[in-house]
Chains A and B, each alone.
Chain A
Amino acid sequence: MKKIFGGKKGVQILFIVFELLIVLFVIFTLVKIAESYGSTTGTQKAILSKDLKMMVDTLVATPGDVVVEYPGDVSSYQFHLFQDHILVALYDEDKGFGISNYFSLPKGYKATGSVMESEKLCFVKQNTNMLLSNCV
């Protein structure tokens, strides 16, 4: 071992090994970053949050009482409707990692409700009350 690393050739081998390790580390880092962005959950949360925000605006602009079912299976996510924003996160995720989208309701309107681990999601508007709930 002393002979291998003692000579000039040995040092060159060490450098080559070191460079190979650096290259492998960079490749690993780039793949991990691409993997995390490539997973659909981040984008899907953003799309869902935006969709539901636009749904709130649409319901505000719809006179009378309304019940709307959001299309698709949303069982992988949790939804929370607040007075000024909608929060979407993965069903097993902390709310702090969710994505919010803000809206403005007319005076006198109330918005509330949460949905978790449910396949279907429904928006119910009764007069000036908006409720996010499981579909019955």
Chain B
Amino acid sequence: MVRMFKSKKGQYDIARKSIFWMIAGVVITITVLAFAMILSIYQGEVSTVPAEYEAKLTALRFVNTAECFTYQDLVTGRIESGVIDIDKFTQERLDDCYRSDSERGYSSFNFGLSLVGFDAIDVDSGEEKILMTNNFFNKVDFTLRFPVIVRSGSEEFSTQLLVFVQEGI
């Protein structure tokens, strides 16, 4: 071994091997990390649920739950799914119905709601105001449409509830 270190060819061989293993070490590390990442991404894809499906399940509460906007008969207590009580359609009610986490909420679903023909008008701009959840920043990824009946006093009107969905920022 000492002879190898003394001869020029031996020194050249050792230097060559050292450089090779330095580069190979880096390449092997990158390969192993890339392999682990690919498997992790695949694992995530296997358990993915379409965003529209998940958002719709969450948004169903707006038209089916008395704690949100759904009309509830005060006498019988019966909840009428698909019927919106216009007196309940307020920002305060939406805040009580759905509130994303104040710290993490920007990464979860947030919603903007518009009841076609029944939105409040902004006094300054004259435009229709939509109701928004606490972390909704007007980034609309897709829109859900629910055909609903609006009850105002004893009158009923057929319209649509538009739910603008923000998936996450």
Do the two chains belong together in a single complex? yes
Residues of A within 8 A of B (CB): 5-8, 10-11, 15, 22, 26, 29-30, 33-34, 37, 42-43, 46-47, 50, 54, 57-58, 60-64, 84, 102-104, 106-109, 128
Residues of B within 8 A of A (CB): 1, 3-4, 10, 17, 21, 24, 28, 31-32, 35-36, 39-40, 42-44, 46-47, 49, 54, 57-58, 60-61, 64-68, 70, 79, 81, 96-101, 104, 108
Query: In the complex, what residues of B have CB within 8 A of residue A57's CB?
Result: 54, 57-58, 60-61
User: Could you write out 27 A-B pairs with CB less than 8 Å apart?
Assistant: A6-B1, A7-B3, A15-B17, A22-B24, A26-B31, A30-B32, A33-B36, A34-B39, A37-B36, A37-B42, A43-B47, A46-B44, A50-B47, A54-B54, A60-B65, A61-B61, A61-B65, A62-B64, A63-B65, A102-B104, A104-B100, A104-B108, A106-B65, A106-B68, A107-B67, A107-B99, A128-B67
Contact of A63 among B3, B40, B46, B81 (CB under 8 A): B81
Query: In the complex, what residues of B have CB within 8 A of residue A102's CB?
Result: 101, 104, 108
**Complex Cα–Cα for A85 and B24 (A):** 45
Q: Check B67–A54 contact: CB distance below 8 A.
A: no
**Chain A at the B interface: mostly helix, strand, loop or mixed?**
helix
Q: Check B97–A107 contact: CB distance below 8 A.
A: yes
**Chain B at the A interface: mostly helix, strand, loop or mixed?**
helix
Query: In the complex, what residues of A have CB within 8 A of residue B61's CB?
Result: 57, 60-61, 106
Query: In the complex, what residues of B have CB within 8 A of residue A104's CB?
Result: 58, 98-101, 108
